[in-house]
Structure 1
Amino acid sequence: MSGKLTTHVLDTANGCPGSGIAIALWKLDLNIDSKTLLKTVKTNHDGRTDEPLLVGDELETGVYELIFTVGNYFARYGDYPNPSFLDEIPLRFGVNDIKAHYHVPLLVSPWSYSTYRGS
Structure 2
Amino acid sequence: MAGGLSTHVLDTARGCPADGMRIELFRLEGAARTLLKSVLTNKDGRTGEALIAGGELQAGVYELVFDVAGYFADAGLALSQPTFLGSVPIRFGIADTGAHYHVPLLVSPWSYSTYRGS
TM beyond 0.5 = yes
Q: Match of 2:33?
A: 35
Q: Match of 1:97?
A: 96
- Scaled by the length of structure 2, what TM-score is found? 0.95
The amino acid across from 2:94 in the alignment is V
Larger % of strand: which?
1
3-state DSSP of counterpart to 1:54: coil
1:26-65 paired onto structure 2 within 5 Å: 26-30=26-30, 33-65=31-63
How many residue pairs match? The answer is 117
Question: Are 2:77 and 1:79 aligned?
Answer: yes
The amino acid across from 1:97 in the alignment is D
Q: Which runs of 5+ in 1 are unaligned?
A: none
Query: Considering only aligned residues, what root-mean-square deviation do their CA atoms show, in Å?
Result: 1.0
How far is 1:82 from its partner? Answer: 3.8
Query: CA-to-partner distance for each residue in 1:21-58, whole Å, 9 max, x for gaps?
Result: 0010000012xx11111010000000000000001221
Contact 1:75/1:82, CA 8 A, preserved across alignment: no
Q: Which runs of 5+ in 2 are unaligned?
A: none
Q: Match of 2:13?
A: 13
Assess, with a 3 A threshold, how the Cα gap between structure 1 residues 77 and 41 changes in structure 2: closer, same or farther. Answer: closer
How far is 1:70 from its partner? Answer: 1.1
Moved over 2 A (4+): 76-80
Q: Percent identity?
A: 61
